Amino acid sequence: MNMSHGQDLNRRDFIKISSLFLAGSAAMSTQIGRTLSGNGDALADDGRERVVHSFCEHCFWRCGIAAHVRDGKIYKITGSEHHPLSNGRLCPRGTGGIGQIYDPDRLAHPLIREKKGGKASYRKASWDEAITYTAEKLYKIKEAYGPQAIAMLHHGFGYTFFKEMFKAFGVNKFAKPSYDFCCGPSHQAFLFTYGHEIGTPEGIDIINSKYILFFGTHYGENMHNTAVQEIAEGIRRGLKIVVFDPRFSTLAGKAEKWLPIKPGTDIAMMQALMNVLITENLYDKQFVAENTVGFDELRAEVERMTPEKAAEITDIPAEDIREIARNFARYAPAAAVHPGRRTQWYADGAQRSRAIAILNALAGNYKMPGGMVKYEKYKIPKGAPHHYPEYEKEVWSKYPLFTDIKPENTMGSHEVIQQAIDGELKALFVYGVNVPETITMGRKTALKALGNVDFLAVVDTLPMEVTGYADIVLPECTYLERYDELDGGRPYRTPFVALRQPVVEPMFDSKPGNQIARMLADKLGVHALEDDVETYLDKKLKRAGSSLEEVRKTGVLLGKPTDLYRKTGEKLTFETPSGKIEIASSKFRDAGFDAVPRYTKHPDAPEGFYRVLTGRKPMLTFGRTANNRFLNELPTARENEIWVNPQVAAKHQLSHGEQVHLKNQAGVVSEFPIKVKVTERIRQDAVYMVHGYGHYFKKLKWAYGKGASHNQLISNYDIDTSTGAVGFENNFVTFIKEA
Amino acid sequence: MAKQKNYGMVIDTRVCVGCSACVYACKSENSVPEGYCRDWVVQETNGTYPKLSMENRSERCQHCEKAPCVTYCPTGASHYAEDGTVQVNRSRCTGCKACLAACPYDARFVHPEGYVDKCSLCKHRLDQGLETACVSVCPTKSLNLVDFNEPDQEALALMNGKEVYRQKEHAGTRPSLYWISARNKPGV
Ligand code: SF4
Ligand code: SF4
Ligand code: SF4
């Protein structure tokens, strides 16, 4: 058999490689590696076990989990049978909570930065001291410069209490980096086209679909549990998958057809598909006539993008483009183009997502089995409103099509960074964002911002790079040790409200975010978070028709399944300005942008350089899991590799498994070397690496120095001037061989 | 008396994404020591750019009907259980490794505590009427537990009309793991 390079895991190798770190992580063995003796294994129901239902925090999907506790320790995490997003199953990361809670590197105490004789160091502080210090700094900065001099960067579900605290304090500059470079533009694109967002989980009826096109979406490597479950079920039922991706991804491995498209040319491909649908009269004419506006504008725009023209741009033969467009039409309305996630690659991410939205409209698949659907939310009646101060502005972003319906994002995270660099921001409060390795203007820019603010506070569970720059570090306990806000805001097939509840007591001197935020609010003298968290959750659950006591049992409260499909003759309405699906978007037009998506060329790699494509491994969520010894144990998880086509390898005399440094177009050289993976699975003009490796903070004892950092190699970024999103795929690298 | 069980697996490689959730679930369920695993994932790619194909497989002990590990075990520690699985009696095992050499599937390892360990098909769970840890976690339902003595099972029906193989059949081991090839078209 011709085994591919690198990916294959030979168990003897595994044992050999892995036993190397056995000694180094002995601390973990005592925590999770309880050895069982005798013939067979210990029984789960020996009376010492208890199971707590909660939800996962290893990614935003937030699946329901069942945490199994024995002798006071969590020894395994399984998928909750009750939660609609897990259906009793989990992705690998979901099982990995034990590696997070029992991480020996966890932040154990509040830390205050001190400078003695020009040298900065941290000292342990009591919570009282830490809270007083933080509140005092925030208060003084607000007094001196106004509330607009303070911003919070946040990621993860525990931020809500800090948001409440800040709102009561008059601060509402909030940014979640994932808006900028992940789903923001896609949300906006669907909102402006259909009047509602595509959602999380995305509103595509995958299990009933016959034909789905994916553009660079790496399901299977992106383990969004329910979506992966649905794709598998779809395949069992006969779903045909088409993947456009410069790399032969795992999903491409499932596809009927893999099209190794030239990176940066997706919109040209989408236009060409539209061209075929229109010129060959294959689109759903009745649906388009009744439910859309702007079709003629689209026709005029895509007329020039013939399959032949697109073939030159995209490297995909014209006959393939025709065949796919015809198949798409043949299977419609049980056909869809999946919106994907992390779709912000260049400055035209929103337009690219608009093109996806439009292709779905041309298929007439809205509210049809196997097409685009609109899931519903579990509606919790609102409680009495808090009386927060009036803000100077509700949305701070300067970008005209930035979201104004997501109060967790009032500006782009890159705008926060820019304002910090410009001196407009004086204090940064960072909740769960490892700024130097997350912000997609690259590490260097992020560090400039961190260095420029007067006060930097960090709330986290682990010593991430950002904690090394903080004035104060507030150690939060992990998601397995705390309550958080209810997860009730998301539409799905079965609308639900989910509860995060503590499985075990907080370890060390860490505290739940809800308590940290309350202590800060009290110290600042503002009235947020009036009730303790249990009372608060109970009141809210009572409004939802249940109670905390009740929901604690299964961790979830279910609503009536969404009625997904159109009835015959049903008149559709859309909450867009025109009340129709806006093929030509009035929002984009009114703001001075192209009303229908247009292809623009992105720069090619300089000679000898290769475009850096990124993605993830199924067992890791970037930084959040980087130090997780349980999840990182497999050799496939421990470091990232740089994927290189054999032709490129030959040109640069690279051999499989060799360590190289990467150098980008601006001369930035990766701090750590990275292993070369020579593989047929990638085009010759691009290389691929998984984001979230190459940590340079020594306190992350496990993750330190493993693989290369992608964020470090970002020197170039493109801002979408409509939605304020950031793309970073116009970065290129070459190889520096070890001397 | 209840009909005797004869457990095995039908593994649908068409849907497996190689995520390794099965490996982690097994490790925590069975307290597999660090540096070892009872199941592991193989991602096999064939062909040259741009004509490539892929198969993902979650592999483990094949619970063979004619298991060379049992044949070659000098102490009787490796044995057939009544439910069709192959088990190791830890107190009898001397860690001599005869079975490691005999197993064509490389499924066994010496546990740091001195005995040989491998996939038990989660016998402790089967005995309680539960599915194995890897089967229960798998988000794609690639892994299916079957009882070959029970003909009316969805998982057995899953194989109908498809290209199905067993690994290293020439070794005469009669493995209880059946693989639905990734070459099968969707929905067949
Ligand atoms: S998809 Fe995985 S990481 Fe994300 S919430 Fe679900 S189990 Fe957790
Ligand atoms: S959990 Fe399932 S999909 Fe993931 S690797 Fe294992 S068998 Fe494959
Ligand atoms: S059946 Fe149990 S012991 Fe065997 S691989 Fe699966 S989880 Fe591990």
ipTM: 0.97
Helix axes A307-314, A318-331, angle to 10 degrees: 120
| CA–CA min distance A733, chain B (Å) | 22
Within 6 A (CB) of ligand 1 lie A 56, 58-59, 61-63, 90-91, 93-94, 223-225
Residue B129 at interface with chain A, using a CB cutoff of 8 Å: no
Q: Do B29 and A235 touch (CB under 8 A)?
A: no
> Which positions 57-86 of B are in contact with A (Cβ < 8 Å)?
none
> What is the CA(A94)–ligand 1 centre distance, in A?
5
- Which of A2, A77, A229 lies at the smallest CB-CB distance from B140? A229
> What is the CA(A100)–ligand 3 centre distance, in A?
23
Inter-residue contact A620 to A702 (CB < 8 Å): no
A631: which chain B residues are within 8 Å (Cβ-Cβ)?
Answer: 24
pLDDT of amino acid A622: 83
Inter-residue contact A263 to A100 (CB < 8 Å): no
Nearest CA to ligand 1 atom 5: A62
Q: Among candidates A231, A228, A280, A155, which has minimal Cα distance to A622? A: A155
Q: How far apart are CA A509 and CA A522, in angstroms?
A: 20
Beta-strand ranges (E) seen in A520-601 are: 556-558, 581-582
B100: which chain A residues are within 8 Å (Cβ-Cβ)?
Answer: none
| CA–CA min distance A610, chain B (Å) | 17
- Which of B17, B91, B122 lies at the smallest CB-CB distance from A618? B17
pLDDT of amino acid A41: 38
A462: DSSP letter: S
Query: Which ligand ends up closest to the CA of A222?
Result: 1
A12: which chain B residues are within 8 Å (Cβ-Cβ)?
Answer: 106
Residue of A4, A39, A71 to mutate, testing the B interface (most B Cβ within 10 Å of its Cβ): A39
Residue A73 at interface with chain B, using a CB cutoff of 8 Å: no
pLDDT of amino acid A624: 86
For chain A of 739 residues, list the mean pLDDT of each consecutive stretch of 10.
33 33 30 33 57 96 97 96 97 97 96 86 95 98 98 95 95 94 92 96 97 95 97 97 98 97 98 98 98 98 98 98 98 97 90 98 98 95 86 93 93 97 98 92 94 97 95 98 94 96 97 97 90 95 97 97 93 97 98 97 97 96 91 94 98 97 98 98 98 95 96 95 94 92
Helix axes A266-279, A295-302, angle to 10 degrees: 110
**B115 has pLDDT over 90:** yes
Atom of ligand 2 nearest to the CA of B140: 3
Tokens of B95: 């860690």
pTM of the model as a whole: 0.94
Sheet of strand A150-154: strand arrangement = A119-124, A111-116, A472-475, A455-460, A427-431, A150-154, A174-175
Residue A253 at interface with chain B, using a CB cutoff of 8 Å: yes
| CA–CA min distance B20, chain A (Å) | 6
> What is the CA(A335)–ligand 3 centre distance, in A?
37
Query: Which ligand ends up closest to the CA of B139?
Result: 2
Q: Do A258 and B125 touch (CB under 8 A)?
A: no
N-term to C-term CA, chain A: 35
Closest Cα in chain B to A23: B34
pLDDT of amino acid B3: 73
Alpha carbon separation from B59 to A43, A90, A565, B41 (Å, rounded): 24, 19, 40, 6
- Which of B14, B21, B49 lies at the smallest CB-CB distance from A92? B21
Give A110-176 as a DSSP string. -EEEEEETTEEEEEE--HHHHHHHHHHHHHHHHHHH-GGGEEEEE-SGGGHHHHHHHHHTT---EE-
> Which positions 503-522 of A are in contact with B (Cβ < 8 Å)?
none
Query: Which ligand ends up closest to the CA of A54?
Result: 1
pLDDT of amino acid A385: 83
Q: How far apart are CA A705 and CA A668, in angstroms?
A: 17
Q: How far apart are CA A376 and CA A562, in angstroms?
A: 6
Q: Is A95 left (phi over 0), alpha (psi -120 to 50) or beta?
A: alpha
Residue A198 at interface with chain B, using a CB cutoff of 8 Å: no
Q: Do A680 and B49 touch (CB under 8 A)?
A: yes
pLDDT of amino acid A44: 43
Which is more confidently placed, A580 or B151? A580
- Which of A40, A76, A683 lies at the smallest CB-CB distance from B29? A76
- Which of A1, A12, A633 lies at the smallest CB-CB distance from B34? A633
Q: Do A90 and B43 touch (CB under 8 A)?
A: no
pLDDT of amino acid A365: 98
Reduced to 3 DSSP states, what percent helix, strand and coil does chain B have, rounded to the nearest 5? 20, 25, 55
> Which amino acid is present at A438?
T
Inter-residue contact B158 to B180 (CB < 8 Å): yes
Nearest CA to ligand 3 atom 8: B26
Q: Among candidates A692, A687, A573, which has minimal Cα distance to A222? A: A692
Inter-residue contact A32 to A75 (CB < 8 Å): yes
| CA–CA min distance A564, chain B (Å) | 23
Q: Rounded to an integer, what is the distance from CA A36 to the centroid of its chain?
A: 38
Nearest CA to ligand 3 atom 2: B122
Alpha carbon separation from A133 to A129, A710, B118, B160 (Å, rounded): 6, 35, 54, 69
